[in-house]
A and B are shown apart, each in its own frame.
Chain A
Amino acid sequence: MFSGFSLFPTQASTLAPEIDNLYLGVILITAFFAIVVVVCVTYFAIKYRDHTGDKIGAPITGSVPLELGWSLIPFVIAIGIFVWASIVFFHIVRAPDQTLEIYSTGKRWMWRFQHIDGQREINELHVPVGRAVRVVFTSEDVLHDLFIPAFRVKADAVPGRYSAIWFEPTRVGEYHLFCAEYCGTRHSGMIGTVYVMEAADYQAWASGGGATAGGTLVQRGEGLFTQLACVTCHLPDGTGRGPSLAGVYGSQVTLESGETVTADESYLRESILMSQAKTVKGYEHIMPTFQGLINEDGVAALIEYIKSLQAGGNRVASAQ
């Protein structure tokens, strides 16, 4: 493994070169200041050295122009870095519109992944090259953090809410996947491998093996939707005791407080598990909480099913 020693991790996502350029840029800027200071200190220390301790230095007290100069110039440069880094940051946190969604749950000490097609895996993540992938994840117990150095992305997994990272792999290969938020005894064992595959290989993998045994994520969600009796209130035409879920995903929902929220994955998740937290305007607080009745994988399946419901009550095939 020593032969693979390098100063930079592999660049395996579209974001990686952007972040590496920023890194190099900041290195160059900071190295300039570091060299100026180190050269000055060293030069002065030698040039003005006094072996006796009896001499005194020149009676210099300060200079306002110098003070202003070395406050303002670094400040302007700092603003420059800030703007550059913030632009990169928004590229990291804003996923493109069309992504392949993968659901994940962190628990001590493993990562579970669920693919749309129904494949499930633990501590391994298979993704296709050249396609934007968005991993939506949460934690079942304490904080974790999904970190893939080759893609330069990470985010904390927080119990009770969804986090997401996105990346577009650019290079077929195997990469580390780490838990980067300390989570107890086997924190350093909560690692895995990301397999970036050719699109065709991924398709074969995703639909192969025992994948279809439990059905696709949407099919599983549909099953739960009936099994948990969601279907009795959330009628597709909106005449039920609960609001219709057709087309709800991504829409603006008005709550009874008058507040408007976007119905994203986190909203749907909260509405299933803590149904009293946000109630849609015009509906009663009658939905039971499903906390403890359904696990995170089930919640993901339900959400994926709700996402597949379009306005008018028609189901669309999951993006394939």
Chain B
Amino acid sequence: METIVYEEPTTYLNHQHSVASWLLTYDHKRIGILYLIVVTFAFFLGGIFATLIRLELATPAGDLFSADVYNRMFTMHGVTMVFFVLVPAVPAVLGNFVMPLMIGAKDVAFPKLNLLSWYVFTIGFIFTVASMILGGVDTGWTFYTPYSSQGSESNVLLTGIGVFITGFSSILTGVNFMVTIHRMRAPGMTWFRLPLFIWALYSTALVMVLGTPVIAITLLMLVLERGLHLGIFDPRLGGDPVLFQHLFWFYSHPAVYIMILPPMGVISEVIACFSRKNVFGYSFVAFSSLAIAVFGFLVWAHHLFVAGISPYSALIFSFLSFAVAIPSAVKTFNWTATLYEGAIWWKTPMMFAFGFLGLFLIGGLTGLFLASLGLDVHLTDTYFVVAHFHYIMVGGAIMGYFAGLHYWWPKITGRMYNDTLGKLAALLIFVGFNLTFGPQFILGYLGMPRRYHVYPPEFQVLNVLSSAGASILAVGYVLPALYFLYSLKFGAEAGANPWKATGLEWTTQSPPLPENFRTTPVVTEGAYAYSKREMRVA
């Protein structure tokens, strides 16, 4: 064994081997891997629920599951995917791993807090999985009262507590990231030399710290209402069921930006790298992240246009919802302009980034339909909404997560995966995704409501298309798991910088040293200084 130790360079992976060295690690890179394991498990769990939902919906009748089982399926799909995949995927997995590397730091500002975040997250997840094993929960991931406080006979308390606990992990990670980005940047790494992924993570951390306490309070109120009948949401006791929706969406709409801002940051990195260019309009892209984070807090009631709010407040929230679309549009135009006169290298991460552009574009533009008051009355609570948010959450966030995973995988593991299979996965996911969720826009306008276990037969054609698409999508998601695992043992050595990218994370070895850099790097140029390279100009 000793000979191998001498041959291999020391990395964060091989300098310690015991299980305890992983479970008690303070190393941001190892904690990133710990998150990766839990998030991947959650992703496949949520994926299984999704598969079963699409199987059931292939026929109009409820022939596979009872209504109660179906209701639990879509609830647990939503809870798992939102709180245990979408929220943590990019910040906690990729952010944890690469953020300190990208700013030239040895670790995050509070390494022990970082480990605590993972434990809190995992304990919350265990509570939630326990609630599923004990019979599940059937309120929908939105936990609307009074169904959740009085009507439902499922495990609302246990799930609520699980999500409540998990929220603290978000808050702790947010605080940790903010302090790290403020205080731990390498000499010369000024704010406007930061990679755009860091700007995105910073904006996200802001939302996590300010928004998550509100969902925690809301879930606590729900738990108290359900346990003690305090009358906060019960109209018979003078409470207001719609109050819950205000509180819930005050967090959960900004949470959409927790889910999409970090993948947007990933896309900026990937597009810059594989176009060999500066991101067009760097400061506009950076500030659009902050603008989204701030305006994201002012649009929550657009989820309540038919819930009985005043038509005048609906006007204000509709206007603000149109306003928040502009920074996202600015980002999209800047990414497109970045490609102009680039030297575009068609590698797997870029294929995922192209996929992101297409799907996020549709997701964003269909958001305008729902922000339009006159259309939202007809469209809300239908499959149009389901399609819209899946285009943002899965087409945008998960596509961006996959782009990032494929981009930094050689850095994380030191190995290359099969590029052809990677491109095939990107293609399968893109095609499968559009086939799954495209028909749902039409279904929604035709009037098919969400969360329907059985449906009128005229909706079947579009549902069959959707279920067929989901099977392609499933193959697209399983494929990366296979070639990633294969690459760990058989993949080619990646070397420090397989993509010939700029950025401090590519200046250190792959996998990185336990302490990231041998000497603290000194930064003398912006994040995407490709044009200063000694290379042939395109």
Interface residues of A (CB under 8 A from B): 1-2, 4-9, 18-19, 22-23, 26, 30, 33-34, 37-38, 40-41, 44-45, 48-63, 66-67, 70-71, 74-75, 78-79, 81-82, 84-93, 108, 141-143, 145, 147, 149-150, 152-156, 158-161, 163, 176, 178-189, 191, 274, 291
Contacts and interface: CB of A to CB of B under 8 A. Distances in A.
B456 to A, nearest CB: 6
B2 to A, nearest CB: 38
Interface stretch (B170-178, B221-229, B357-365): B357-365
B278 A61 contact: yes
A182 B147 contact: yes
B377 A60 contact: no
B243 to A, nearest CB: 11
Contacts of B307: 156, 158
20 contacts: A1-B456, A2-B460, A5-B461, A40-B340, A53-B499, A55-B343, A56-B530, A56-B533, A57-B530, A59-B531, A61-B281, A66-B337, A67-B334, A70-B330, A79-B322, A108-B151, A154-B380, A158-B242, A160-B235, A182-B147
Interface string B504-538: 00000000000000000000000000110101111
Contacts of A41: 336, 339, 354, 357-358
A48 B375 contact: no
A70 B333 contact: yes
Contact of A147 (B146, B318, B337, B381): B381
Interface stretch (B38-46, B106-114, B253-261, B446-454): B446-454
Interface in B109-143: 138-140
A259 B366 CA distance: 42
B536 A30 contact: no
B473 interface: no
B326 interface: yes
Given A58-B538, A61-B280, A88 B373 contact: yes
Contact of A161 (B235, B281, B449, B453): B235
Contacts of B455: 188
Contacts of A147: 381, 447, 449
Contacts of B531: 56-59
Interface size class of B (residues with CB under 8 A): 35 or more
A160 B241 contact: yes
A58 B343 CA distance: 8
Contacts of B68: 185
B326 A75 contact: yes
B210 interface: no
A91 B375 CA distance: 12
A26 to B, nearest CB: 6
Contacts of A74: 325-326, 329
Main secondary structure of the interface of A (DSSP, over half): mixed
B538 A55 contact: yes
A134 to B, nearest CB: 15
Interface string B362-387: 10011011011111011011100000
Interface of B: 62, 67-68, 71, 138-140, 144, 146-147, 150-152, 235-236, 238, 240-242, 275-278, 280-284, 306-308, 311, 314-315, 318-319, 322-323, 325-326, 329-330, 332-334, 336-337, 339-347, 354, 357-358, 361-362, 365-366, 368-369, 371-375, 377-378, 380-382, 442, 445-447, 449-458, 460-461, 499-500, 530-531, 533, 535-538
B336 A34 contact: no
Contacts of B538: 48, 50, 55-58
B281 A67 contact: yes
B329 A70 contact: yes
B368 A30 contact: yes
Nearest to B238: A274
A176 B407 CA distance: 49
Nearest to A109: B67
B365 A48 contact: no
B453 A163 contact: no
Given A37-B357, A56-B530, A141 B146 contact: yes
A62 B282 contact: yes
A300 to B, nearest CB: 17
Contacts of B147: 142-143, 182-184
B236 A85 contact: no
Contacts of B536: 54-56
B446 A291 contact: no
Nearest to B381: A180
B457 A188 contact: no
B241 A48 contact: no
A161 B336 contact: no
A81 B277 contact: no
B498 to A, nearest CB: 9
Nearest to B351: A45
A53 B346 CA distance: 8
Contacts of B332: 37
Contacts of A55: 276, 343, 535-538
A52 B447 CA distance: 50
Nearest to B372: A85
Given A60-B280, A86-B373, A158-B307, A23 B71 contact: no
Contacts of B340: 40, 44, 48, 58, 60
Nearest to B319: A82
Nearest to A18: B374
Contacts of A58: 277, 340-342, 531, 537-538
Contacts of A78: 322-323, 325-326, 368
A189 B382 CA distance: 15
Contacts of A61: 278, 280-282
Contacts of B326: 71, 74-75, 78
B311 A48 contact: no
A90 B310 CA distance: 11
Contacts of A38: 358, 361
A13 to B, nearest CB: 11
A41 B446 CA distance: 32
